């Protein structure tokens, strides 16, 4: 069983860095958080948004879920964790950027890609959740039917980001701020094997490498 000692040692280093001789950062945030960017990322342990972007505490408001998905706006049901975070980030923090951070080798998208019509009976939560991006899977199957399996999976991972960007616009508070020019939406994709970050370019309709 993995020990928590490493985590506790890490907290001690954090405490020394931010609450030791120089505690100005957290002192400045004691009454609220200053984040102006919302990052929606995957739960995957390899894709920590703050580490990938070398951010300090307070820089990012982060939502992490399976496959970094945004559901469409709907008020049915009882629990809407991702939607609640969106509402808070936009209405309370007045964030200026929302970034969907997808990544290669995503287990959630793999589950979507390999799922069949009866998989909801085998998975109580995962398959119903990743079905949010079912249209991304359909698009790849119809558009890239002759591509290699690896290329199809990658395309599905990236297409799911675009589906989540579209779903963001179903939230009135987001759509209104985007239309007023007060909020920008971004799609990013982290290529784990290559160590590259790709950003979606709406003008070219492609994910393009911005770091190498």
Q: Which fold has domain 32-105+158-209?
A: Beta-carbonic Anhydrase; Chain A (3.40.1050)
What is the per-residue pLDDT across 62-97, written as a single tens digit (0 to 9) for each?
999 999 999 999 988 788 999 999 999 999 999 999
What does each C-alpha distance from 28 to 12, 20, 148, 151 come to in angstroms? Answer: 21, 15, 51, 46
Q: Which carries the bigger pLDDT value, residue 212 or residue 127?
A: 127
Give the predicted TM-score (pTM) of the model. 0.94
Taking a C-beta distance cutoff of 8 angstroms, is the pair 210, 186 a contact?
no
Place of tokens 């609450």: 19
What is the per-residue pLDDT across 107-131, written as a single tens digit (0 to 9) for each?
999 999 998 766 555 688 999 999 9
What phi and psi, each to the nearest 5 degrees, are found at residue 72?
A: -70, 155
Structure tokens at 51: 């580490």
């Amino acid at each position: 069983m993995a020990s928590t000692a490493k985590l506790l040692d890490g907290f001690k280093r954090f405490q020394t860095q931010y609450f030791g001789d120089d505690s100005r950062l957290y002192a400045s945030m004691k009454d609220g958080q200053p984040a102006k960017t919302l990052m929606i990322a995957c739960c995957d342990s390899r894709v920590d948004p703050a580490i990938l972007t070398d951010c300090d505490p307070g820089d990012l408001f982060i939502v992490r879920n399976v496959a970094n998905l945004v559901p469409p706006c709907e008020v049915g049901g009882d629990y809407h964790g991702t939607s609640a975070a969106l509402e808070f980030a936009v209405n309370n923090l007045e964030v200026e950027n929302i970034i969907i951070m997808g990544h290669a080798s995503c287990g959630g998208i793999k589950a979507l890609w390999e799922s069949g019509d009866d998989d909801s009976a085998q998975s109580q939560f995962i398959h119903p959740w990743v079905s949010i991006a079912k249209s991304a899977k359909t698009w790849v199957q119809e558009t890239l039917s002759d591509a290699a399996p690896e290329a199809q999976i990658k395309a599905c991972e990236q297409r799911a980001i675009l589906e989540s960007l579209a779903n963001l616009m179903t939230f009135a508070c987001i759509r209104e701020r985007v239309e007023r020019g007060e909020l920008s939406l971004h799609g990013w994709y982290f290529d784990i094997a290559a160590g590259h970050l790709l950003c979606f370019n709406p003008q070219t309709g492609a994910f393009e490498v911005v770091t190498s």
